[in-house]
Structure 1
Amino acid sequence: MTLKSPSIDENEIEKFRAMASEWWDPKGKFKPLHKFNPVRLAFLRDKIVSHFNLNNTSHTPLEGLRILDIGCGGGLVSEPIARLGAKMTSVDAGEANIKTAMTHAQETGVKIDYRVGTVEELIENGEPPFDVVLNLEVIEHVADPHQFIKDTASLVKPGGMIFVASINRTSKAFALAIVGAEYIMGWLPKGTHEFHKLVKPTEAKQALKAGGISIQETTGVSYNPLSGEWSLSSDTMVNYMCVGTRSE
């Protein structure tokens, strides 16, 4: 048994095409994700290529790798990773998100196995483990972050790796990622993030370790308001990314 992979009803195609145009509009309401995406994608690519000793000069260096993007939304990470050659399985609990992502992938000719469902269902259905699991900007929106991280970690095959990215639970993150981004700049709808649900890097790493993962690296991602660009940083007080691996 596998998770539901919905077909796109022709009667709904325009609705999801409109939603796809919103998700993929770099100047629209998902502008913060588009701004954030280049540095995040470069980080993912570099770490995966290095870990698996892949050809860094290839246009499709991730060919042969099976990668899971859990909580994939409209596919802003899934599509670029698939273009790098990976065999993508992308899962989201929201059917509208999956249909939107499928519509855009069809229009751009990118092959991705999009499914509606949860990580718990993947495990219950006996999904084979993946070379790489992407757990990006999701843990701050789930009921039990510790268990969720452990569950996603269980889907990493021996020798594989996992990425967890989120927002730290600090006063600086509250000021910048919630008050600044949602209430002052209007980058995100008010209430997108609840401070008490944010997860500290130490908590994320504890959950990964409980799931049998060895932590390799934790890096920050910082925003420069003058240039309007994001970059990797030693400052993990707001945005951070953790990289972990499972031993052979």
Structure 2
Amino acid sequence: MSDVKSTINPDEVAKFEAMAAEWWDPNGKFRPLHQMNPCRLDYLTTQIATQFGRNLRDARPFEGLRILDIGCGGGLLSEPMARLGATVVGVDAAEGNLPVARLHAEQSGLEIDYRHGTAEALAADGEAFDVVLAMEIVEHVAVPQEFIDTCAALVKSGGMMFVSTLNRNAKSYMFAIVGAERILKWLPNGTHDWAKFITPDELEDMVLNAQLDMVDRKGMVLNPITWRWSTSARDLSVNYVTTSLKA
């Protein structure tokens, strides 16, 4: 698959590979993701259950669903999806993330198919999934439209694609760059490039170009008093997540 064109940005891969050992440290460099994860999971699981007619009160409500987690990192989303019964493939271009992900899954008694590779390689192999997760990754790829096209190609007919990213405006610069990286030191300086942030309307255009229908978009908002995240239908000014369907 070495000849398959990829939208991967090697510099971005190197950033996250350097932090691989800290994936499961809730107070480490991935602290923001750990804090955001309950909010992300609540949104994802509710949308998936609604689309496929599943009851989240069941022991394994996602049994029979095949889910792809692109840019899976240490498995913060892959593991909960596997616990809910889904067959999960986690793919990451940063090879150093995968031993961490595999070890943690093994220790948790979970079977997850973790692979070193790219979305483009999976598409070239004819892979298809009921659900494709592309969370906090599109702002790190070289060509966002091509990446979204590839993600869409991996979705089965009747399936779903989730994309979360950061809006591009003055507020997101202050919160994600100045606040999170420079003041609070939640992330190493340079983790994000504000110029690569994508507005919700820009992302919707990309999704439409990829022949999917964006049916929902919500902001993910941090309460500075409780330090808890929640979804918002009105405030998409910094972090946001979208749901798209394939006919």
Same fold (TM > 0.5): yes
In the other structure, the counterpart of 2:28 is: 28
2:185 aligns to what SS in structure 1?
Answer: coil
C-alpha distance 19-169 of structure 1, shift in aligned 2 (>3 A): closer
Q: Structure 1: which 5+ residue stretches go unaligned? A: 2-15
Q: Deviations over 1:191-244 (max 9, x none)?
A: 000011111111111111111111110100111111111111120010010100
Q: Deviations over 1:23-71 (max 9, x none)?
A: 1121222111100000100110000000111123212111110000001
| Runs of 4 or more consecutive aligned structure 1 residues displaced over 4 Å after TM superposition | none
CA drift of 1:151 comes to 0.8
Distance 1:82 1:202 in 2: 32
CA drift of 1:109 comes to 1.1
In the other structure, the counterpart of 1:216 is: 215
Distance 1:51 1:37 in 2: 21
In the other structure, the counterpart of 1:116 is: 116
Distance 2:166 2:105 in 1: 28
In the other structure, the counterpart of 1:190 is: 189
CA contact (8 A) 1:146 1:203 kept: no
Asked if 1:239 corresponds to 2:231, the answer is no
Distance 2:49 2:246 in 1: 16
2:96 aligns to what SS in structure 1?
Answer: helix
In the other structure, the counterpart of 1:177 is: 176
Q: Structure 2: which 5+ residue stretches go unaligned? A: 2-16
CA drift of 1:166 comes to 0.3
> Normalised by the size of structure 1, how large is the TM-score?
0.90
> Normalised by the size of structure 2, how large is the TM-score?
0.90
CA drift of 1:121 comes to 0.8
CA contact (8 A) 1:145 1:199 kept: no
Distance 2:183 2:59 in 1: 40
2:160 aligns to what SS in structure 1?
Answer: strand
Q: Deviations over 1:91-134 (max 9, x none)?
A: 0001111121111111111110000001111112222x110000
Distance 1:59 1:208 in 2: 33
In the other structure, the counterpart of 1:43 is: 43
Distance 1:19 1:181 in 2: 19
CA contact (8 A) 2:133 2:162 kept: yes
CA drift of 1:19 comes to 5.2
CA contact (8 A) 1:136 1:165 kept: yes
